[in-house]
Amino acid sequence: MTTYPPEPWTLVGRMDVSTFLVPTDTLPTATWPDGWTPLVLGGHTPVGAAWVRYDPGGVLSYRELLVAVAGRVGARIRPHIVAIWVDSPASRDGGRELWGIPKGLASFSGFDEGTPTMTLEGAARPAARAVLRHGPRLPGRPPLGFTLAQDLHGRRWESPVASRATLGMLRADWRFDVEGPLRFLAGKRPIVSATLHDFAMLFGMTPTDRAKDEQDNERCGIAGVTRQDRHTLGSATRR
């Protein structure tokens, strides 16, 4: 196994993200953590797909394609990553061991040209590709944050993500292999797309905060409510 940085990870880069509405009964279920359920809106669930370029200046530099499903734990909104690929063994191993994120390895191309593709190792054709057209940027760098819910060694593991970014308009045309791992998105058109330009991200918790959170959870008899939901941007994400 490769070595990887301890959490939390500070990361910088650009994310191009689209949201799809997908029939809930077609979603992959193998990674769902205990107590987590997808959000359902008229039989459909919001699903986000994102191309991410993590640049030098963070703890790791690599490329990524992720797919996350909107869901909840009780009344709390908790997105859950159901599929994700990177081109960094360190990112793959760290994501799996620290947070239960099911990262796999793949090759990427076309990020700089606005035509990103992701191809699994040994595959004859891309599992996903897109044509991205970036539009105007909005003023400011608003804070953005959420908490992921994943399955880590058989238990639900919640991890906060905090970032700041310049938001930009985006038109995205996606194509998914009808026989590939993201075939549940094949033929779908996004309902909205956006770019997070020059984001600065803090992913995860310090060991001290993890320990305190575990103590809080034991006293309350619940998983990941207090300190994770209060996770805020620190100096690492104020750019």
The answer to whether position 2 is within a domain reads no
Q: Is the pLDDT of residue 45 over 80?
A: yes
Residue 1 placed within a domain: no
Distance (Å, rounded) from C-alpha 93 to C-alpha 104?
9
Burial of 54 from C-beta contacts in 10 A (0-12 / 13-18 / 19+): buried
* Helix or strand holding residue 200 (H, E): strand 192-203
For the chain, how are helix, strand and coil distributed in percent, rounded to 5? 15, 50, 35
Say what the pLDDT of residue 2 is. Answer: 80
Do 109 and 129 meet the contact criterion of CB atoms below 8 Å apart?
Answer: no
State pLDDT tens for residues 112-143.
999 999 999 889 999 999 999 999 999 999 99
Whether residue 182 is contained in a domain is answered as: yes
Residue 213 belongs to some domain of the structure: yes
CATH of the domain at 231: 2.40.400.10
Residue 57: pLDDT band (50, 70, 90) is very high
4 lies in a domain?
no
**d(Cα 113, Cα 108) in Å, to the nearest integer?**
12
Which residues make Cβ contacts (< 8 Å) with residue 213, sequence separation at least 6? 205, 224, 226, 227, 228
Residue 236's pLDDT band (cuts 50, 70, 90): very low
**Total count of domains within the chain:** 1
Please give the Cα distance from 183 to 201 (Å, whole number): 30
In this predicted structure, the answer to whether residue 239 has a pLDDT above a threshold of 60 is: no
- Its domain, for residue 192, covers 9-237
Give the rounded distance of the alpha carbon of 152 from its chain centre. Answer: 16
Under the banding of pLDDT at 50, 70 and 90, the label for residue 224 is very low
Residue 102 lies in a domain: yes
